[in-house]
Amino acid sequence: MPALMRRCAPWVLSLMTAVCPPSLSAQAIDVEGLGFLIGSPEAPVQVVEFSDFSCPFCQEFHAGTYQAIHAGYVETGKVQWIYVPFASGQYPNSVAAAAMAECAGRQGRFETVRDRLFETQHAWKDEDEEAAGAHFLDLVEDLGIDEGAMIACATSEEVTARIEQARALAAKAGVSGTPAYVIDGFPAVGALPAAFISQVLDARLAQLGSGSGGP
């Protein structure tokens, strides 16, 4: 058996092409206090998502696959989803968008701002810094978020450091592209379809239900 296959859990061996790609190692990661928990912390399966708000593939994943998985697995208490705002540096305005999401989370508005950033990605992704900043402020005003607090937070050294910490965490997990997600310690990459992710989650839940639990 190839070494790559030996690294992968039995519940993902049939999905080798997209799960456990050669650049990623199959090991559990500690999010180190980063990211935002969506769903119950008691859910048996954990998914950590690294996503760039400027990434078109991340937007595609969020609009399609994520919505289906959220309804079928997160809302039903089967999966806890941790979203880590990630600025890959490959796209314009990704750092500013990640900072905005981080700061929205501090006002209890992370999911709302995350959704709106993806919904309006076409309007700001390729704009210059000034135009994108104006769009972000319009979004903040539209959502009734404290603009002064948002600006102070987004430009703070603390938030800048958290964005760098997220990059370091992603590098430790072997993430080289977005969207990327770690499912109970095992990585997957790309805007994968909901049916695919469902297969992986169902297999993992079945394994946990059988009492075997381990990789």
CATH number at residue 170: 3.40.30.10
Does residue 13 surpass a pLDDT of 60?
Answer: no
Q: Which DSSP symbol is given to 50?
A: E
Instruction: Identify whether 10 is part of a domain.
Output: yes
Q: Is residue 127 in some structural domain? A: yes
Residue 128 contacts residue 175 (beta carbons within 8 Å): no
The structure tokens listed for 196 are 């695919």
- Mean residue pLDDT of the chain comes to 86
* Poorest-pLDDT segment among 11-20, 61-70, 149-158: 11-20
Indicate the pLDDT class of residue 12, thresholds 50, 70 and 90: low
Q: Is residue 212 part of a domain?
A: no
| Residue where the block lists tokens 């990211």 | 35
Is residue 44 over pLDDT 80? yes
In the chain, the number of structural domains is 1
**Domain region containing 118:** 3-206
- pTM for this prediction: 0.85
Does residue 213 lie in a domain region?
A: no
> Does 211 reside within a domain?
no
| 194 touches 73 (CB < 8 A) | no
Q: Among candidates 60, 107, 118, 63, which has minimal Cα distance to 85?
A: 118
Query: Does 16 reside within a domain?
Result: yes
Contacts of 123 (CB under 8 A, 6+ apart): 135
Domain assignment present for 169: yes
Residue at 137 is within a domain: yes
